[in-house]
């Protein structure tokens, strides 16, 4: 089971804020399990705190601003991205002004500061928000869709009608190493024609070519870029920071076209609304989300210790959440190398429906056998209400979800469904009986 994480010791970083120009020192401090990310304004009476939460977003003009308890903190997204990218769950962020330092316009200074402290595991399980069905936010040409996935993946397209940018695309699986090396140092950017308007709004008082990439009419004003696709990398950075405001790490594949702080916040609000702020299923009108608290994951070696199946008939690659006696969510990656595609059918490969049901049954077997005695097997006793909604083809990833309707020591009834990219592929009710094989046959 993954554990929550915090930092080892207090560390600090100082500099001027991007929009306010105020000189600020930010101090990162360890926090207890379950605390989450909390900002504290030490320059104000009683040191008011603001939890990093989408409900506390009060402004998204050229940055994300949080407000609560009579205090505000501007431009938090780069700090949040650094914390999330290093997979830190609990931390206190103290500031002696109203905006974190801009540094070089990226998350790199915060990442380096936090790594100086070191990241440590805590004695508490990590909690996730898991996507169960596709969720989309659309505003004209800005589109963000979240699909079921077993980790957090961000796939972003930057599409600007400017010769210096053009169209850029990048996709990353969010983890400490890839974030620190590929995303954290990407700098914020703006167009030259926006500068006067932003100054007129009282913004970018601390902005310069030292902490932002500025795009002129024909070319970029800075001497060089850190990456050829630095713009889309920074959009990924901002998106990660804004999604951190969900309060718990997200499991899902986020596909975004022209994201920004406004659509990012609207998506997070939609996820929060659909989840109902609950630690259980979403409301009946949208079963798209839930927060996974108790579920444990299983890798392929752990699966083999429970299921007797082996190649070519083991049809579960990973379990992303197993709550004993309640529910299980498994993954089956369908590749072109599956042996049955040679005959079903060579010119139009389709996974046989009975094998889709078999994958569902094996995931269900993991739930039933998770507390069984060594050597026990789960046998099919019946299948009811089986329906197939769409074909499964090479390249598809099956998200197999099974819930216990009734579980007894020797028998069980379960409901399962299989989705591909958020679309229902199959569902059925499954009946099982547990047997213990012996040398002379089956002992009931």
The strand ranges marked E within 127-270 are 128-131, 135-139, 142-147, 152-159, 167-173, 189-191, 213-215, 250-257
Q: Which pair of structure tokens corresponds to residue 373? A: 């005695």
Closest residue by Cα to residue 322 from 412, 400, 427, 255:
400
* Cα distance between residue 251 and residue 363, in whole Å: 19
| Structure-token match 């969900």, residue found | 246
DSSP string for 256-315: EES--HHHHHHHHHHHHHHHTT-SSBPPTT--SEEEESS-EEE-HHHHHHH----TTS--
DSSP string for 377-392: EEEEEEEEEEEE-S--
| Residue 186: DSSP 8-state | P
Q: Which pair of structure tokens corresponds to residue 118? A: 């070191």
Q: What is the dihedral of CA 118, 121, 126, 130, to 10 degrees?
A: 40
* Cα distance between residue 403 and residue 159, in whole Å: 42
CA 412, 413, 415 angle in degrees (round to 5)?
A: 140
Q: Which of 16, 19, 253, 261 is catalytic?
A: 261
56 classed as catalytic: no
16 classed as catalytic: no
Other C-beta atoms lying within 10 Å of the C-beta of residue 35? 16
What are the catalytic residues?
261, 344
């Amino acid at each position: 089971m993954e554990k929550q994480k915090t930092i080892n010791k207090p560390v600090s970083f100082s500099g001027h804020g991007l929009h306010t120009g105020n000189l600020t020192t930010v101090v990162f401090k360890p926090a207890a399990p379950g605390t989450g990310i909390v900002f504290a304004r030490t320059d104000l009476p009683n040191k008011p705190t603001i939890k990093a939460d989408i409900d506390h977003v009060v402004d998204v003009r050229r940055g994300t601003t949080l407000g609560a308890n009579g205090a505000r903190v501007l431009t938090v997204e780069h700090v949040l991205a650094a914390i999330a990218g290093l997979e830190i769950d609990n931390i206190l962020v103290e500031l002696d002004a109203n905006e974190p330092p801009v540094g070089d316009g990226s998350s790199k200074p915060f990442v380096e500061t936090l790594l100086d402290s070191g990241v440590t595991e805590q004695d508490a399980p990590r909690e996730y928000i898991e996507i169960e069905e596709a969720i989309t936010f659309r505003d004209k040409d800005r589109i963000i869709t979240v699909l079921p996935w077993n980790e957090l993946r961000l796939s972003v397209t930057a599409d600007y009608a400017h010769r210096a940018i053009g169209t850029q695309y990048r996709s990353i699986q969010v983890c400490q190493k890839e974030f620190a090396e590929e995303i954290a140092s990407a700098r914020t950017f703006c167009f030259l024609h926006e500068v006067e308007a932003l100054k007129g709004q009282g913004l970018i008082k601390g902005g310069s070519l030292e902490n932002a990439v500025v795009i002129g009419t024909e070319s970029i004003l800075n001497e060089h870029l850190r990456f050829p696709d630095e713009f889309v990398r920074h959009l990924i950075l901002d998106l990660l920071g804004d999604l951190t405001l969900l309060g718990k790490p997200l499991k899902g594949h986020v596909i975004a076209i022209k994201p920004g702080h406004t659509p990012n916040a609207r998506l997070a609000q939609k996820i929060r609304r659909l989840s109902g702020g609950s630690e259980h299923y979403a409301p009946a009108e949208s079963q798209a989300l839930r927060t996974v608290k108790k579920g444990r994951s299983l890798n392929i070696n752990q699966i083999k210790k429970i299921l007797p199946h082996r190649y070519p008939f083991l049809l579960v690659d990973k379990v992303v959440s197993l709550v004993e006696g309640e529910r299980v969510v498994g993954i089956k990656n369908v590749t072109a190398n599956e042996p049955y595609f040679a005959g079903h059918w060579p010119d139009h490969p389709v996974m046989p429906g009975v094998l889709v049901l078999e994958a569902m049954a094996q995931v269900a077997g993991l739930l039933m056998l998770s507390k069984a005695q060594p050597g026990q097997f789960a046998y099919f006793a019946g299948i009811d209400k089986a329906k197939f909604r769409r074909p499964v083809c090479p390249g598809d990833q099956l998200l197999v979800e099974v819930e216990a309707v009734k579980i007894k020591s020797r028998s069980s009834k379960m409901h399962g469904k299989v989705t591909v990219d958020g679309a229902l592929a199959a569902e059925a009710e499954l009946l099982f009986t547990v047997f213990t094989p012996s040398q002379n046959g089956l002992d009931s």
